[in-house]
Amino acid sequence: MIPDGLQIQVRLSAYKNMIPKERIGYERIGFHDDFIVVDPHDWDGGLRPGTDQYNQILEEAPFLLVDGELPWGYWSLEEGGWIIDGYGVAI
């Protein structure tokens, strides 16, 4: 269903891995992490350094579209929240 020459993105590599690697189009599925933070959090989808999902994204990222976003909003200022270090996330 992906038009030739275009890539799509999925949130987690586990979603991508539901498709056999040999299937046409697999190599055009990139990643979009919609909760990039430095510290582990319940909403990060388990994308943490050292996990299989994280390592797969690192391995495939040079050849695919990869995007993401830093969350923001009132929740980070509530009790137990924190201000996200954008620079720390980027490096």
Token pair 């009790």 is found at 79
Q: Per the structure, how many domains does the chain have?
A: 1
pLDDT in tens, 3-32: 888 999 998 888 999 999 999 889 999 998
Are the beta carbons of 66 and 58 closer than 8 angstroms?
Answer: no
In a domain, 1, yes or no: no
Over range 32-61, report the average pLDDT. 82
In a domain, 40, yes or no: yes
Full domain range(s) for residue 28 = 8-90
Per-residue confidence (pLDDT) for residue 85, from 0 to 100: 73
In a domain, 3, yes or no: no
Query: 65 — alpha (psi -120 to 50), left (phi > 0) or beta?
Result: beta
Pairing of the two strands 8-10 and 29-33: parallel
pLDDT in tens, 77-89: 777 666 777 777 7
In a domain, 77, yes or no: yes
Model pTM score: 0.73
The b-or-e profile of 78-87 (16+ CB within 10 A means b, else e) is eeeeeebeee
